[in-house]
Amino acid sequence: MESEAHAYSQTLGEQESIWFKISPLVNAADPMGILKRLVSRQSGCFPIQMRDEKIFFLSEVDHFKHVLVTKVDTYEKYFDGLKPIFGKAMITIDGALWQKVRQPQQPYFHPNVYAGYVPHFMVALRRKAADWAALAQTGQPVEMLEQTWGLAADMVCRALFDREVPFNPRAVFGAVKAYTDVSHHRAIRMKKVAGGLTEVTDAEVPAQAIGAWLTLPEAVISAKPWQNRADTLLQALLRSGDDPSMWEWDHQQVLDEIKQYLWAGTETTALTLGWAFYLLSQHPAVAERIRRESETICGDREPTAADLEQLTYTRSAVLETLRMYPPAWALVRTATAEDTIAGHKIMPGDRIVLLPYLVHRDERYWEDPERFDPDRFAPGKVAKRVKYSYLPFGGGKRFCIGGQMAQMEVMLALSQLLRRFRVEYAGPVPAQIAASVTLMPKGGLPFRLRALS
C-alpha cells in the first residue's frame, strides 16, 4: 500500500495536470472575478497558451450546449492529476466503456428507489442531530464542512452500501482535502528543504493521506452489513466485478466506483449543505420559512419522500444555493478532434474548461444575480429559464447520476436540523472562495450551533 500511495503521490501536482496549471489563477484573491473579466472581454471564450497546451475557458450557454450535447463525442472527460481520487471510475471514462460501467449502477438512482433511501437518510440525520446537541452545549466553534462531509458520507454508506461508516470521517475528510485543494498539490509531492524543493518520501504525511483514501473501498466491502438488505448498489458493484461475462469490470473497477461515491457523491453534497447553512445564517428570514414549511408539512412525524415533494420552498433554497455556489464550478474536457468555438480553432488535445459559476451569475439570465433569492426557483418559474443557464449537475448524457438524491439529502438535512438548531456563521463575510477542484470556502466555514428550545 505504501509504494502504491507513493506512486499515486507522484501524479499529484504533475506539470501536465490542468488543475496544477491553473492553480495560480484559482488561488488568487478573487478567482471568479478574474475569470469573469477575462471571458467577458473575449465573447465568452478565453484561450490561454501554456507551453505545449492550449486551455479554453468558456462561459456562454451556446458553448455549454455545443460541448456537452451537440458535439459531446468530440469532447472527452479529463481527470489527470486526480487519479488518486477516482482511479478509472465511470465519472472519468467515455464511450462504450462508460455505458457498460454505468448501466448496472443506474437502477440505484432511479426515482422509484429514492423513497426507500429516505429512512436511511433519517438515521444519519438523527445521529448528526445528537452530535450537534452535544456540540451546542459546549458552545465550541465547529467546522461546518467537516460536519456536513461526515453526514453526507453516512447517508451514502447507509443508503447505497448498507453499511455504517467504516472509517473516521474526520480523518478521511482531511485526506480528501489534500487532493481537492489544488494549491496543495505541489506541496504534496514536493517539500521545502533548505529553501529548495525536494520529492517527498513514502513515510511522509501525503503518502499517509493517499494511503488512507486507498484503504476505504476495502473497508466498506469488509464492514458488517448494516441491515442485511438484499439489493444495494454495493451488491450490484460486487456482482459486476465477479461476473466473467462483464469483461469491462474487475475488482479494481469495484474499488474505484466506491471511491467515486465517497468523493463525487459526498463532497459535493457536503459543500452544498455547508454553503446553504452559510447563506441561511446571512438570511434568517429564509431559514425561518424553511423551518415553518417543515413544521407545516411534516409535523412531528418522520418525513417521507411524499413530504419532500411538498417542501417546495426548501427545494428552492437548495437550488438557489447551487446557483450561487455550484460545487462543480468548472467542467473540464479534452478535445479529440478539430472544431471551432466562438471563432477559435480547437485542436485535438486542447483543454476545455466550462464555467457554470459564471453563467449562474450572468445578469442576462439572472436578475440581480448576486442576491440570494430562493423564489427564483418557485414552481412555475423553471420553465421560463434559458436553457444551459443553470448547470450545477452538468448537462447532456454525462449529467450527474445522483443529482436528485443529493437534493433530497440536502432538503432533509435543512428541514430537520433547522428545526432543532440555530446555525451561526462565525467567519468573515462575505465568505471567500478557494476555487480548487470544487468550490471550497477559503479557510473553511466556522460555525456556532445553538439548540432551539
Q: Which residues bind ligand HEM (CB under 6 A)?
A: 90-91, 102, 156, 260-261, 264-265, 268-269, 272, 327-328, 331, 392-394, 398, 400-403, 405-406
Distances (CA, A) of 245 to 5, 81, 102, 205, 256: 31, 32, 16, 41, 20
Beta carbon of residue 322, minimum distance to ligand HEM (angstroms, whole number)? 6
Comparing CB distances to ligand HEM, the nearer of 280 and 401 is: 401
Comparing CB distances to ligand HEM, the nearer of 162 and 200 is: 162
Nearest CA to 442 out of 281, 274, 261 is that of 274
Q: What does the alpha-carbon distance between residue 309 and residue 98 come to, in Å, rounded to a whole number?
A: 32
Beta carbon of residue 343, minimum distance to ligand HEM (angstroms, whole number)? 25
Q: What does the alpha-carbon distance between residue 123 and residue 155 come to, in Å, rounded to a whole number?
A: 8
Comparing CB distances to ligand HEM, the nearer of 135 and 156 is: 156
Sign of CA dihedral 450, 429, 184, 50: positive
Nearest CA to 234 out of 206, 262, 193, 207 is that of 262
Comparing CB distances to ligand HEM, the nearer of 12 and 411 is: 411
Distances (CA, A) of 355 to 287, 390, 413: 29, 11, 28
Beta carbon of residue 223, minimum distance to ligand HEM (angstroms, whole number)? 18
Beta carbon of residue 114, minimum distance to ligand HEM (angstroms, whole number)? 11
Sign of CA dihedral 71, 76, 79, 81: negative
Comparing CB distances to ligand HEM, the nearer of 159 and 341 is: 159
- The CB-nearest residue to ligand HEM is 402
Comparing CB distances to ligand HEM, the nearer of 122 and 451 is: 122
Beta carbon of residue 295, minimum distance to ligand HEM (angstroms, whole number)? 25
Comparing CB distances to ligand HEM, the nearer of 166 and 394 is: 394
Beta carbon of residue 368, minimum distance to ligand HEM (angstroms, whole number)? 23
Beta carbon of residue 82, minimum distance to ligand HEM (angstroms, whole number)? 11
Comparing CB distances to ligand HEM, the nearer of 12 and 234 is: 234
Grid coordinates standing for 34? 478574474
Beta carbon of residue 304, minimum distance to ligand HEM (angstroms, whole number)? 20
